Amino acid sequence: MEFIQNKQPDIKKPIIIAAMQDMGNVGSIVINFINESLQTKTFRTAKTPFPTYIVDRGGYIDLPDEKWEYRYTDDLIIFGGGKGQPQSNNELNALCQDVIDIAKKYSAKFIYTLGGFHTNRIFDNKPKTYITTTSQELTKQIEGLDVEVTPQKSIITGFNGLILGFAKKNNIQGIGMYGELNEPEIPQYRSSISIIKTLEKLTYRKLGSTSQLEIRAQEIEKKFKN
């Protein structure tokens, strides 16, 4: 994994929101939404030396320009979005450790991550967002904010789970938010909206209007209903 420092932002004790593409593209949808809404600026880039997929253009292939950006605004650092995740454990671990190193460098107060929560529950276009944290004490603190914790034990794989483990190991508080979805292969805009609203509640800040995500959710529902 190659890391390129583009600039040194003047930020202290930021909140970090870090997530990568996962089930229903939830991680990418939310990260890309925040970056666009808050007009964040790039200061660091992570690139993998080996492609995790190829693009068939119809008779010939292209190699993707895979990279994941660290972006910032005010007291926020946003990492991830884009397409895909590293496919090797070594690269995934290196990426998680780099996020932790950035958190320490800027004395980050918190790391938030997010993703999809696959369920068979029928939620009628109103998916819940479930929360898990890096400690029982932290979970007790946020239970008074009208949020729901993850309903059962499970294994959370990929970056959007592993980063919480790295945070805990390095004594950094972290919260994971996982939006319900029934169809992991379809972009889940309503799950993403649910996570954004939960993130606003936990961070006490507005992240922008989700009206365009609502339109995309309706378009997806119409497409697959037909």
DSSP the chain: -EEEE-------S-EEEEEE--GGGHHHHHHHHHHHHHT-EEEEEEE-SS-S--EE-SSSEE----EEEEEEETTEEEEEESS---SSHHHHHHHHHHHHHHHHHTT-SEEEEEEEEE-----TT---EEEEES-HHHHHHHGGGS-EE-SS-----SHHHHHHHHHHHTT--EEEEEEEES-TTS--HHHHHHHHHHHHHHHTS-----HHHHHHHHHHHHHHH-
pLDDT at residue 169 above 70? yes
Give the chain's end-to-end CA distance (angstroms, integer).
43
Lowest mean pLDDT, pick from 3-17, 149-163, 195-209: 149-163
Indicate whether 66 pLDDT > 70.
Answer: yes
pLDDT at 70: 97
In the predicted model, what is the mean pLDDT of residues 38-67? 89
Percent of the chain exceeding pLDDT 70 equals 100
Return the pLDDT at 123.
82
Question: Which residues does 47 contact at the CB level (< 8 Å), separation at least 6?
Answer: 1, 2, 3, 4, 66, 67, 68
Q: What pLDDT was estimated at residue 226?
A: 59
- When pLDDT is averaged across residues 1-6 and rounded to a whole number, the result is 92
What pLDDT, on the 0 to 100 scale, is given for residue 4? Answer: 95
170 band by pLDDT with thresholds 50, 70 and 90: very high
pTM of the model: 0.92
Mean pLDDT of all residues in 121-136: 90
pLDDT given at position 85 = 85
Burial of 146 by CB count in 10 Å (0-12 exposed, 13-18 middle, 19+ buried)?
Answer: exposed
Domains along the chain with CATH numbers: 2-225 (3.40.50.10900)
Judged against a pLDDT cut of 80, whether residue 224 lies above it is answered with no
